[in-house]
Amino acid sequence: MFLDKVLSLIPSDMLVELAAETEVDIFSKKLQAEVIFKLLLHCLISHKDNSLRTMESAYETLLFASINQNFQKKSIRYNSI
């Protein structure tokens, strides 16, 4: 899968450090910065038209669940993104 190759180029520790440095996870309860980054990257690569509703449906697919193994949530709403 192409997305796995792209994500392997970015160390997970770097994403955690970036999230801590920018403090984006302070008020986040469901979606962490790492998950949002992976979701955005996944949607940019695999979908022609991107919107919050597209990202919502992409989050719930099995393909993204395999990418997002550390943060398992069954469903989200588009306004959570």
Structure tokens at 5: 């190759």
Three-class DSSP category at 53: helix
Q: What is the pLDDT of residue 79?
A: 77
Residues 6+ apart with CB under 8 A from 60: 74, 75, 76
Per-residue pLDDT averaged across 60-76, rounded? 77
Q: Amino acid identity, residue 23?
A: E
**Which residue would you say has higher pLDDT here, 7 or 74?**
7
Closest CA to 69 of 4, 2, 13: 4
Three-class DSSP category at 69: coil
pTM (predicted TM-score): 0.80
**Residue spans per domain, the chain:** 1-68
pLDDT tens for each residue of 22-60: 888 888 777 888 888 888 998 998 888 889 999 998 888
Between CA 18 and CA 49, with CA 29 as vertex, the angle to 5 degrees is: 70
